[in-house]
Chain A
Amino acid sequence: MTGTQEISIQLGGLRRRELRRLFAISVTVHLVLIAVFGFSPKSRISVPRGVIAVELVSAPAAARSAAPAAVAKPAPPKPKKVVLPAEPTTPKMQPKVVEKPPPVQPTAAPETEYEDVLARLRAESGEDAPPTEIAKAAPTAIGSPGSPDGVAISPEVAAWLKRAKIHVRKNWVVPPGFRTQVLEARVEVDLDASGKVRGNPRLSRRSGNPWYDEGVIRAIQKSSPLPPPPEAGKWNFVFMPEDSY
């Protein structure tokens, strides 16, 4: 019991000392914060606040959800009965009208009719053996998890965003099949002042399709150097097919 109390007292002493130290740290941190935010002559982004870009939006998720899509609107059934022709279009193919529907009584067919016919056909046609492959290489997936988005944009930055978009788009190949899918990848790219890509672009949000993601990284690599950015450093690129329905 006594031992416990002693330990508590010691802990209390330690806490008081620690608190004093933490208070000192806290004061220092606040001073540093004031220095960084309050007295810095220029923030890291030389963007006047409160300016909104007109054309480009830095919230791609919203842009995607707003993508136009023709939506089927339920309409009341047409009162007029349209007679649907049977599958075949020739008169001979019209369904036969009978007084009473004959009961469907499937007669047992030989088990092997389909296989027999097929086997004979294949034997007659003598189809070639398919080519054999001896070595394979598969593309590899690249990437890592995602990050959130930003906000207001100055005209200078907006102009660069547009130039960068046009530049990268020219180098981005979207296979035909990907254009009809909702695929979105986000890449963090480190650009130097001249627009050159430093190091490897990092996938911060994968699309779920590794080939699409690889194509996105490829587009960035091909695009280097990009138009010189307003400021060197890390910039995010969001890729999405325009035609995704």
Chain B
Amino acid sequence: MRAARLVAAAVITVAVTATDIFAAERPAVVVTSGKEQKFSVALQKFAGGPDAEAYREGLAAALEFSNLFRLIDRKAFLGQTTTQTLATRARIECMEWSTIGAEFFVEGALRVEGGQFVAEFGVWDLVGCERKLRRRYRQLSSADAIILAKRMADDIVEVLTGIRGVTSTELTFVSKRGGNSEIFVMDADGGNQRAATANRSINNFPSWSPSGDAIIYTSYRVENRPKLFISTRGRGKPGRILSKLSDMPQYRAVFHPDGRELAVVMTPSESTEIYRVNLNGKNLRRLTQNRSIDISPSWSPDGRRLAFVSDRSGSPQIYLMDADGSNARRLTFDGDYNTNPAWSPDGRWIAYQGRVGGQFDIWLIDPEGSVNLPLVSHPRNDESPCWSPDSRKIAFSSTRRGSADIYLIDSSGDDLRRLTRSPGDDTSPSWGPYPR
């Protein structure tokens, strides 16, 4: 009897093993990504208030900016086009929305409560028919409601991809639209462009502080010599910093990721060198020590290394060095002019402008130098790349339409967008951090 049981067990074992062997032999379906697949979203007009339609439009635009969503035309809706009350698990009609091709359903309600504008919304996953997200935001009712719509869109992106969207971030850049080189600020989608300086001098190389509180830039406004100033988002009077550092010209500065130090390009003699210094001007250290020109510092996200440009090999090339100036090594070897490196916030890539065939294009290289490829190429010049805080987009200036304008492109090379259309040159973009 016991022997019979053992035999039965053995037979079963053999049968299961044989099944596994055959299952393992089955070839796998290898699925590679197609282009331009997006999540289909049914977005209701939110309940409440005369501004609900404008709010919906703002949210729709912010969702589309992420290049992740396709909004379904409301005319196709089988259900309500406007939220009545926020759905619950018991009441949601997922089929009603998935039938029209929606993968996600977004509903919401707006109201003013005690001087505050309150926006509450829910995101439903229609594939599993479950709620992905439900949040409520408040801000002063006098503030722009679209700020909340953008914040909502960014949070929806985060829930679906693990990294917050960047619609509610800002860029700073240099514009000559008024005849002089002034510092400007705009929203990440190109909206709300405004001047941060108006001193009729030369202002250049704006760069954000990691907290987003300040933009540091170089200005010739005092004695016509390049010195460092800070400003805030186009409001308030700019103020000079490092005023007593030394008499050396200060050409460009970028914040260390911890926000407590700067890498500054200065000219001690006939060469141009990179320094580190505390924000209060103390603890100045020279990082580059040779007679060549060393410029364009860009910190690694961990603050332990710097990418920079040097002509020590005979032509401008991208180099890396440790944050104390040691271990400098050349990173780029292709092309005779590579400059303006920008280290991605996720640390994976260094974007730079490289000249091939007489034109500057935007290239990507990994910090090990093993992969080097053009991101975007055009017969006109593409210059000065900078990364969005989610490392998914790159802003750069391009003369492809005549005068220089600021453009965006996904780090995959898709979704090129033009952000500025001013008559003067718009150059030197720098992408700000996430708002707090």
Q: What residues of chain A lie closer than 8 Å to B112, measured between beta carbons? A: none
Q: How far is the CA of A109 from the CA of B278 in the complex (A)?
A: 10
CB-defined contacts of A45 to chain B, threshold 8 Å? 22, 25-26
Residue of A nearest to B37 (CB): A173
Q: What B residues does A69 contact at CB under 8 A?
A: 371, 373
Q: Is B242 part of the contact surface with A, judged by Cβ < 8 Å? A: yes
**Interface pairs A-B: 10 shortest CB-CB:** A101-B269, A117-B239, A125-B235, A109-B281, A58-B27, A72-B372, A124-B236, A177-B392, A236-B28, A211-B162
A114 touches B279 (CB 8 A): yes
- Could you tell me if A128 and B34 are in contact, using CB atoms closer than 8 angstroms? no
| B143 proximity list for chain A (CB < 8 A) | 128
B92 located at the interface, meaning its Cβ lies under 8 Å from any Cβ of chain A in the complex: no
In A89-138, the 8 Å CB interface with B consists of 90, 92-93, 95-98, 100-102, 104-114, 116-118, 120-122, 124-138
Residue in A closest to B412 when the chains form the complex, CB atoms: A179
In angstroms, Cα B282 to Cα A47, docked, is 75
Complex contact B32–A242 (CB within 8 A): yes
Q: Which residues of B contact A7 (CB under 8 A)?
A: none
Does any Cβ of B come within 8 Å of A77's Cβ?
yes
B134 touches A (CB below 8 Å): yes
Contact call A172/B37, Cβ cutoff below 8 A: yes
Are the CB atoms of B159 and A108 closer together than 8 Å?
no
Residues A25 and B10 in contact, CB atoms below 8 Å apart:
yes
Query: Of A72, A78, A83, which is within 8 A of B369 by CB?
Result: A72
Instruction: State whether the Cβ of B31 lies closer than 8 Å to any Cβ in chain A.
Output: yes
Q: Could you tell me the distance between the alpha carbons of A135 and B152 in the complex, rounded to whole angstroms? A: 13
Structural contact, A70 and B371, CB atoms closer than 8 A:
yes
Range, interface on chain B: 35 or more
A180 within 8 A of B: yes
Within 8 A of B (CB), among A122-168: 122, 124-139, 147-153, 157-158, 161, 164-165, 168
**Separation in Å of the B219 CB from the closest CB of chain A?**
11
Is the CB–CB distance between A131 and B148 below 8 Å? yes
Are B246 and A150 in contact, CB atoms less than 8 angstroms apart?
no
Contact check: which of B133, B161, B282, B316 meets A211 at CB < 8 Å? B161
Q: Are B33 and A241 in contact (CB under 8 A)?
A: yes
Number of interface residues of A (CB under 8 A): 126
Q: B281 touching A58 by the CB < 8 A rule?
A: no
Q: Does B251 count as interface, using CB distance less than 8 angstroms?
A: yes
Given contacts A56-B27, A131-B148, are A72 and B371 in contact (CB under 8 A)?
A: yes
Q: Which residues of A contact B90 (CB under 8 A)?
A: none
Residue B433 at the chain A interface, CB threshold 8 Å: no
Say whether chain A's binding surface is mostly helix, strand, loop, or mixed: loop
> B140: CB under 8 A from chain A?
yes
Q: Which residue of B lies closest to A174 (CB)?
A: B33
* CB <8 Å contact, B236 and A104: no
CB neighbours (8 Å) of A222 from chain B are: 103, 127
- B33, A179: Cβ atoms closer than 8 Å: yes
Decide yes or no: A176 and B412 within 8 Å by CB, A93-B226, A169-B33 being known contacts.
Answer: yes
Known: A92-B220, A128-B147, A175-B161. 9 other contacts (CB 8 A): A69-B371, A72-B370, A101-B270, A139-B160, A152-B27, A158-B27, A168-B29, A238-B30, A240-B31
Which residues on B sit within 8 Å (CB–CB) of A172? 31, 33-34, 37
Evaluate contact between B162 and A209: CB separation under 8 angstroms. Answer: yes
CB-defined A-B contacts under 8 Å, sample of 23? A58-B27, A71-B371, A72-B332, A78-B336, A82-B311, A104-B246, A107-B244, A108-B282, A109-B242, A109-B244, A109-B281, A117-B230, A122-B232, A126-B235, A131-B147, A132-B137, A132-B138, A172-B31, A175-B392, A176-B392, A176-B410, A235-B28, A243-B33
Question: Is B240's CB within 8 Å of the partner chain A?
Answer: yes
Q: Using Cβ atoms and an 8 Å threshold, which residues of chain A touch B415?
A: 176
Interchain CB contact under 8 A, A135 and B251? no
Instruction: For residue A22, give the distance in angstroms from its CB to the closest CB of chain B.
Output: 8
- Say whether B230 contacts A121, CB under 8 Å: yes
Q: A171 to B37: give the CA distance in the assembly, Å.
A: 8
Specify which chain B residues have a CB less than 8 angstroms from the CB of A32 in the assembled complex.
10-11, 14
Closest to B67 in A: A176
* B305 contact set on A, CB distance < 8 A: none
- The distance from the CB of B353 to the nearest CB of chain A, in whole angstroms, is 13
Q: Are the C-beta atoms of A221 and B127 separated by less than 8 Å?
A: yes
CB under 8 Å from chain A, chain B span 3-18? 3, 6-7, 10-11, 14-15, 18
B191 within 8 A of A: no
B43 at the interface (CB under 8 A from A): no
